[in-house]
Amino acid sequence: MAKKLSEFPSVPLCHQPTPLEFMPRMSESLGGPRLWIKRDDCTGLATGGNKTRKLEFLIADAIEKGADMVVTQGAVQSNHVRQTAAAACKFGLDCHALLERRVPDRANDYETTGNVLFDQMFGTSLEFRPAGLDMNAEAMAVTEKLAAAGRKAYFIPGGGSNEIGALGYVSCAYELLEQIKANKLDVGWIVLATGSAGTHAGMLAGLHAAGSTIPVMGVSVRQPEDKQIAAVHKLAVLTAAQLTDTPLGVEKVIVDDGYVGAGYGQPTQGTLDAINLIARREGLLFDPVYSGKGLAGMIGLAGQNFFESDKDVIFLHTGGAAALFAYGNQLAEHAANG
C-alpha cells in the first residue's frame, strides 16, 4: 500500500535542504548549458556525502529492530562505510565493516589514509577481503555469525542501497523539485554518478512519485550499461512501489558507461581532468571514484552537444572528497602538470 515519505521512520543525520548552486565559470568553460550543482557533499555527517540521506532511514530501521550494532561493506576507500560508522557513533551503535581490496596497484598508504583513517577514528572494527567476492553475501554471513554469538546485528548493504536506504533519495528528489521551482529553472537533465544504485534508483522513484518528467542521466562508475540499468530499475521499482501504485518503466533508467575506464576506483585521464577543472573553476572538490567520473561524463556529453544549450542541467554532487588523500600522488602529479 502506497505511503507518504513522512510515514517511514527516520532519524536526523543530514543537513537539509542541501544547497543548489549555479556554476557560472563551469557553464562558460563548457559553452553552455546553464550548469547547477546540488551540494549533497554538504550533508554534514563526517565530511558529508550522499549516504547520509540513506542512513537516516536505515539507522531508524536498525533502532526499531532493536539492533546494538550495524554491519556493512564497501571498497577500501568506501564513503558509505565512513558515514555508516559515524552514524552508528551518533546513536550508540557498534559498527563492523568488511572492506574489499577492489582497486589494484595502489600506493602503500591506500589502506590507512582517507576514509580508512576516519573509519578507525569512529571505532569501526574492520576486516579486509580480496577482490571479486559477493560482498553483500560476505557481510550477511558475518552478521549471522555475530547474531549467533549474541549480538543484535543489523545488516546494511553496500552503499546503503536497498528500498529503505533509497528513500533518502526520494527525499532528495522532492527537495530538489522545490528548489527547481523556487529558482524558476527549466531543467533539461539531472546528471549523477551511478554505482551501487541506491542514489540513482531513489532519485528516479522520487521524481516518478512526484509526477516529474525530468530525465536522469546516470554515469556508471563500475558496471556496463545493461547490468547497471537492470540493477537501478530493480531497486527503483521496489522503492517507488512503497510510494505510488503507478509502475516505473525501465525506459526511465538511462545510463552512460563510457567513463568507467579500467574499472572501479581507477580514474581515467578524463576523470583527473574533470576534478582539476571544477576545482579551478568553482573551488569544488570531487573524488576520483564517483563524483569525478560522473562529472567527466557530464563534460563529455556537453562536448557532444547532448544537452540543450538553453536549458538548465543539474549535477548531483555525492561527496567523497575524503578519498582524495588516498589518491594524493596521482592527483598532485596531474595538478602540477595541469
Which long-range contacts link 332-335 to residues 24+ away (Cβ below 8 Å)? 334/272, 334/273, 334/275, 334/276, 335/276
The sign one gets for the Cα dihedral 315, 318, 324, 327 is negative
Rounded to 5 degrees, φ, ψ at 234 are: -55, -45
CA separation for the pair 172, 199 (Å, rounded): 9
Tell me if residue 78 is catalytic. yes
Quick one: the chain helix, strand, coil %, rounded to 5? 45, 15, 35
- Say if residue 19 is preceded by a cis peptide, omega within 30 of 0: no
Q: Which residue carries 567527466 as its cell?
A: 296
- Nearest partner of 273 among 297, 306, 302, judged by Cα: 297
- Exposure letters 142-173 (e unless 16+ CB within 10 A, then b): bbeebeeeebebbbbbbbbbbbbbbbbbbbbb
Helices (H), 109-262: 115-121, 135-148, 167-182, 198-209, 225-240
Catalytic-role residue among 10, 27, 78, 196:
78
Tell me the three state secondary structure of residue 76. coil
Distance CA 65, CA 59 (A): 10
Euclidean distance between CA atoms 298 and 293, whole angstroms: 9
Cα-Cα-Cα-Cα dihedral sign, residues 293, 288, 39, 28 = negative
Please say whether the beta carbons of 189 and 307 come within 8 A: yes
Residues labelled catalytic = 78
